[in-house]
């Protein structure tokens, strides 16, 4: 398979809507002995508030064979494309194991595997790319062209997998936002084998997938699902993603919140005049 060749649009990186997450992690386990593969757990969103391409590259560049375990709702398309290309260029064997979900750009990352295994109880999702834009008609027309190029490149990447449907069918699947069970992913050529169900003791991230349109009922979660297990990193991600904070500013906000020094007049940068003082209530029972 060839690398995906899509340039980042001119100007600053664009904000996107993503999914709430909790209990996420990016863990790398070095080989215990010679000949063992490096295990990487990608249980997080893709992008600066989750796992970015730079950090991912630094973990795989000196590895031999890799077993990449995925449980991710996707995220930033250009970070995901860079991660896919780095895996494609990797000299060792890359085995992908989808243990939870591989949705959106996470499913493209999965396509870089020499073997792509998916749990019988796991899922994969493919859809057209989307973004947030502002400006005049010319600006929106330019964004539509860029999104079309991205969709075409991603469709070709899926179609390059042996056993997948033709490119027209894949483009329609993307337009429809198609979710595949483990069995369906194998039947349609997006995976090569079925894994046995993951050990229930294995830590799994939780994702609120409500931004997507056709989420299977089995994957829907409620606010109660996010009450336990929040860490400082989880709160930092919310502030970076939804309030437009830098990581440093988010950590400063948390520090101030603990001692009650946070201004109640702060607003979420990406959401107009939504006040952040209400967020303080989230720390009532939160311990670190």
Return the active site residues.
Answer: 104, 127
Residues in CB range of 158: below 8 A, 6 or more apart: 107, 108, 111, 126, 164, 170, 190
Q: Is 254 left (phi over 0), alpha (psi -120 to 50) or beta?
A: alpha
- The bridge status of strand 25-29 relative to strand 115-119 is unpaired
Q: Identify each DSSP E strand in the chain by its residue range.
A: 21-22, 25-29, 38-43, 66-72, 94-103, 115-119, 123-126, 178-181, 193-195, 206-207
Task: Kindly report the length of the chain.
Answer: 288
Sign, CA torsion 20/26/76/173: negative
Query: By the 8 A CB rule, do 52 and 80 touch?
Result: no
């Amino acid at each position: 398979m060839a690398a995906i060749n899509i340039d980042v649009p001119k100007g600053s990186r664009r904000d996107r809507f993503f999914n709430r997450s909790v209990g996420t992690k990016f863990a790398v386990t070095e080989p215990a002995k010679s000949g063992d593969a490096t295990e990487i757990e990608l249980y997080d969103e893709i992008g600066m508030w989750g796992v970015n391409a730079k950090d991912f590259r630094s973990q795989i560049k000196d590895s031999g064979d890799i077993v990449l375990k995925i449980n991710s709702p996707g995220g930033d398309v250009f970070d995901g494309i860079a991660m896919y290309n780095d895996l494609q260029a990797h000299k060792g064997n890359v085995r992908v194991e989808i243990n939870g979900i591989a949705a959106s750009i996470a499913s493209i990352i999965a396509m870089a595997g020499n073997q792509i295994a998916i749990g019988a109880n796991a899922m994969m999702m493919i859809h057209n790319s989307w973004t947030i834009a502002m400006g005049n008609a010319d600006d929106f027309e330019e964004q539509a062209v860029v999104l079309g190029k991205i969709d075409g490149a991603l469709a070709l990447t899926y179609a390059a997998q042996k056993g997948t449907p033709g490119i027209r069918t894949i483009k329609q699947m993307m337009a429809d936002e198609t979710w595949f069970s483990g069995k369906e992913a194998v039947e349609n050529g997006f995976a090569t084998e079925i894994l046995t169900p993951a050990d229930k003791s294995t830590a799994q991230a939780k994702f609120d997938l409500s931004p997507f349109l056709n989420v299977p009922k089995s994957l829907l979660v409620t606010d109660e699902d996010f009450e336990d297990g929040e860490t400082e990193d989880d709160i930092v991600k919310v502030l970076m993603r939804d309030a437009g904070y830098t990581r440093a500013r988010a950590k400063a906000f948390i520090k101030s919140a603990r001692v009650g020094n946070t201004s109640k007049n702060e607003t979420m940068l990406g959401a107009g005049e939504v006040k952040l003082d209400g967020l303080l209530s989230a720390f009532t029972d939160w311990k670190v």
